[in-house]
Every structure is written in C-alpha cells, then in structure tokens.
C-alpha cells in the first residue's frame, strides 16, 4: 500500500512513476475522494464541537431555569445532529471507496527498473554453456512419461487438468530436490526454517497484496473464508503482521516449503503443457524483513542464493531484470532466474525475486523501532523462490537427456537418489 500523504504531496510525480507500470493509471478519482474525505471530516469535527458546546450550554440553561432558551437550543441541535449523521454516513462511504482505491494501487517501480513490458526485460547474465544435442531434444512430458516419472492422465482423473502426479523415481526426485534445497538454505545460508499452514485468511492476502485485485486467481474455501496458498510469500509476510520489531533484530530471514495452488484461468498453447503452467506445484520460498537501507543488498543476496541451486545442479540459466510493465502488484523491483528448456528452445522462469519495499509492511502494519530511538519505521519485505520444482524438474530432464531417451542425473542428484541414470 502506498503512503497517501506522499501521493497527496506530489500527485503528478507519483502518477508519472505509476504510469511506468500502467499508462492508463489515473490518480484523480482517488485524490478527489481524499479531498472530499478531509472536507467531510472537518465538517463532522465542527458539528461535533458545536454539539459538545451546546450540551454544556443546555446544562447551564437548565440550572438557571431558562427553559425557553434551552428548548430552542435543543431544537437547533436536532438539526445539527441530523446534519452530522448525514455527513458521517457519507464520510464512511468515502473512506470505504478510498481504501478500495488505495489497496488497488500497485507499488511504485524502483528507479533502476527499466520501462517496458515483458518482451523488454534486461538480461543481466547467463551461467554455463547452452546444451547442444546431436538429435532433436525431447519435451519433458515425453521423457517423463517414457521413464514413468509422471502420470498426467491419472492426475487428471483424480483431480482435473493441469494437476501433476509424480510417480516412481519422479516422486523420489521431487522430494529429494525439496529436502536438499530446504536444508541448503538452512545450513549454508542461515535461514530460519518454517513449515507454515497452507490456508490463510482474507487479512493475510490483503497484507501480501493478492487481495482485493487478484482474489479470483486464488482457490477459496468460502464457508471458512480461507484461501489456499498461491505462494509462501503470502504466508510469510504475515508472520510479523501488526508487530513492532527491534532494529537490532533485523534482518529476519525465513525459508519455507509449501505446495502452491493457482487457478490460472484461461487457455494455454502447446508450450505451456506438462509442468510449465500447473494449478499445483511445490516451492521453497525465501523471505526477508529488513531495514530500508539494506533491502537492495538483500535482493542481490536472494538472487544469488536462487542461482546457487541451478549452479550446483549444473543447469544452464540466465538472470533477467523485469521492466516496470511486468512487475507484480506488490513489487518495486523483480529479478527473474530463467532456466533453459531445450525441448522447447526457450527459457522459463524458475525463480522470481522481488523487493516490495514498504508496500506490504504498510498493509500489514509491520514496523521496527530504530536503535537511535527515533520514530518507528516500516520494514522492507523481500521474497524469492529458491526454487519452484516443477520447471526445475523439467529442466533437469531436458538438459540431461540422451538420444536413447534416458536421462543422466546431475551428480548431486545422483548422490541423493543413489543412481546415475533414469531408465524406463
């Protein structure tokens, strides 16, 4: 959530910055409501003050036996009370509308974020050589089905389309990856491990930024007003909601494993089949609460920790800076890590690392008290996948495939599973 006082102080500047994300964005309805709210609030205060002063006068007139003056003043106050009620009812309507508009505003892009849309992202670096094959590389779906690692048909029978089912060595690979990544971030990177609930309440999703704008994309349990986790970010940002932290207790760094659920309504082409865009997937999530001055150093740290996973698995990937038009609602800056899938001759994002600055902290009232005793400040929150396993699984198969349809496992994964090759 953005600071309404800052918006009010320089609306043209903020509108220009926000239009880097959405050229149609218009702050004038919000600012008009804010002006009306302040006018109504001032009128309500004046009428309340009149009523308080009149109450004292009525008591004095009663003591002095001046009934006619008292009754006349009472009649005047009935009119004032009716006017105050009307104004306060309108004030409540305006505040509700204003809050809705403020919550719908996206975060302001950081100055280092380039303009443009998805096609205009900036490639920052690549790792490793792009694998070359003396044969046409297969798609991970064909590899996985021949090797009996996935059973998408039975998954669809049990649940529906775009829900994966890992079988045999596929199930072992998935669990081995999750456990290894979780332990790596705890042991080598010093994160506090968390296994959070999978369901969260409405307030949690408002804090994270998914609600109200993206409520239709989340699986809901309406009887309980609970919602399935689309990403552990939505859960971890609420760990310290409505709390006052100490500056010397920052940063707070958490790693969590969760299954994630996304409705992702719509139709997708051939390139999206298999594990590329699914309604359920597993993910290891990194989350930081930091002081503002250190948040961009923390973003660099999260990106490098996500890259570590791919480097240890020997996978070719690249790192991209997203343009303003491709940022998530809550993000001020996002860096994606994209792995190469030779079966589709393209890169796919396996980690999205974002600095949300104080956007989520304002929504969730998450502050810290500076060491020097100054005024409490909002923390900055950051998140990053390290990693989501579905596309990682696909990349392991596609980058390590052989002409005969077998897959040579990366040495680290081979050690975890106790076998070097996947054979159907």
The domain locations on the chain are 4-104, 118-422
What secondary structure does DSSP assign to 305-332, as a single string? HHHHHHHHTT--EEEEEPPGGG--TT-S
Percent of the chain with pLDDT over 70: 98
List the one residue out of 295, 369, 247, 246 whose CA is nearest residue 110. Answer: 295
Quickly state the pLDDT bin for 118 (edges 50, 70, 90): confident
Domain 4-104 adopts which CATH fold? Helix Hairpins (1.10.287)
Superfamily name and number for 118-422:
Bira Bifunctional Protein; Domain 2 (3.30.930.10)
pLDDT higher than threshold 70 for residue 152: yes
Residue 266 is predicted with a pLDDT of: 57
Q: Would the pLDDT of 150 be above 90?
A: yes
Which residue in the list 253, 363, 367, 391 is annotated as catalytic?
A: 391
User: Is the per-residue pLDDT at 42 higher than 70?
Assistant: yes
Q: What is the pLDDT of residue 268?
A: 58
What's the pLDDT at 213? 86
Confidence of residue 289 (pLDDT cuts 50, 70, 90): very high
Quote the CA–CA distance of 154 and 391 in Å, as a whole number.
Answer: 20
282 has pLDDT over 90: yes
- Of 21, 162, 277, 363, which residue is the catalytic one? 277
202 is catalytic: no
The question of whether 72 is a catalytic residue gets the answer: no
Beta carbons within 8 Å of 268's beta carbon, 6+ residues apart: 277
Judge whether 352 counts as a catalytic residue: yes
pLDDT, residue 218, reads 94
Query: In percent, how much of the chain has pLDDT > 90?
Result: 90
The contacts of residue 104 (CB under 8 Å, 6+ apart) are 212, 213
Catalytic pick among 352, 354, 385, 390:
352
The beta-strand segments (E) located in 269-366 are 280-290, 317-321, 333-341, 346-355
Least confident stretch, 89-98, 271-280, 304-313 = 271-280
Helix, strand, or coil (residue 106): coil
pTM passes above 0.75: yes
Q: What is the per-residue burial (b if ≥16 Cβ within 10 Å, else e) of 320-343? A: bbbbbbbbbbbbbbbbbbbbbbbb
Mean pLDDT is lowest, of 160-164, 211-215, 293-297, 418-422, for 211-215
Element (H, E) at 111: none
Quickly state the pLDDT bin for 271 (edges 50, 70, 90). low
Mean pLDDT of 395-420: 96
| Percent helix, percent strand, percent coil in the chain, to nearest 5 | 45, 20, 35
pLDDT of residue 154: 96
Q: What's the confidence (pLDDT) of residue 12?
A: 94
Residue among 162, 253, 262, 367 flagged as catalytic? 262
Query: In whole numbers, what is the pLDDT of the chain averaged over residues?
Result: 95
């Amino acid at each position: 959530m953005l600071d309404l006082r800052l918006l009010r102080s320089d609306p043209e500047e903020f509108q220009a910055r926000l239009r880097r994300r959405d050229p149609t964005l218009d702050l004038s309805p919000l600012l008009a409501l804010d002006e009306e709210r302040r006018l109504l609030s001032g009128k309500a205060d004046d009428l309340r003050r009149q009523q308080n002063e009149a109450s004292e006068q009525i008591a004095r007139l009663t003591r002095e036996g001046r009934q006619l003056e008292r009754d006349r003043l009472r009649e005047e106050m009935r009119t004032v009370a009716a006017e105050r009620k009307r104004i306060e009812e309108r004030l409540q309507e305006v505040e509700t509308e204003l809050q809705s508009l403020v919550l719908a505003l996206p975060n302001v892009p950081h100055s280092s974020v380039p303009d443009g849309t998805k096609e205009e992202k900036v490639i920052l670096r690549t790792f490793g050589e792009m694998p070359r094959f003396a044969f046409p590389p297969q798609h991970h779906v064909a590899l996985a089905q021949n090797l009996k690692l996935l059973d998408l048909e039975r998954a669809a029978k049990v649940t529906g389309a775009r829900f994966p089912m890992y079988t045999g060595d596929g199930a072992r690979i998935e669990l081995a990856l999750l456990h290894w990544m979780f332990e790596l971030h705890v042991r080598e990177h010093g994160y506090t491990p968390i296994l959070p609930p999978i369901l969260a309440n409405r307030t949690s999703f408002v804090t994270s930024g998914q609600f109200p704008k993206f409520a239709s994309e989340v699986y809901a349990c309406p009887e309980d007003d609970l919602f399935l986790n689309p990403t552990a970010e939505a859960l971890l940002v609420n760990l310290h909601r409505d709390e006052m932290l100490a500056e010397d207790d920052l940063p707070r760094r958490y790693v969590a494993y969760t299954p994630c659920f996304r409705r992702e309504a719509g139709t997708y082409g051939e390139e999206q089949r298999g594990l590329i865009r699914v309604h359920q997937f597993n993910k290891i999530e990194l989350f930081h609460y930091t002081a503002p001055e250190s948040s961009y150093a923390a973003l660099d740290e999260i990106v490098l920790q996500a890259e570590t996973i791919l480097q240890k698995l020997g996978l070719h990937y690249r790192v991209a800076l997203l343009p303003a038009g491709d940022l998530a609602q809550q993000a001020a800056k996002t860096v994606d890590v994209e792995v190469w899938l030779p079966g589709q001759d393209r890169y796919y994002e396996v980690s999205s690392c974002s600095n949300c600055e104080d956007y989520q902290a304002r929504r969730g009232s998450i502050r810290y008290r500076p060491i020097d005793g100054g005024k409490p400040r909002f923390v900055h929150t950051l998140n990053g996948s390290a990693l989501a396993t579905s596309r990682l699984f696909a990349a392991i198969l596609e980058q390590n495939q052989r002409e005969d349809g077998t897959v040579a496992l990366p040495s680290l994964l081979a050690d975890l599973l106790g076998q070097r090759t996947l054979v159907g």
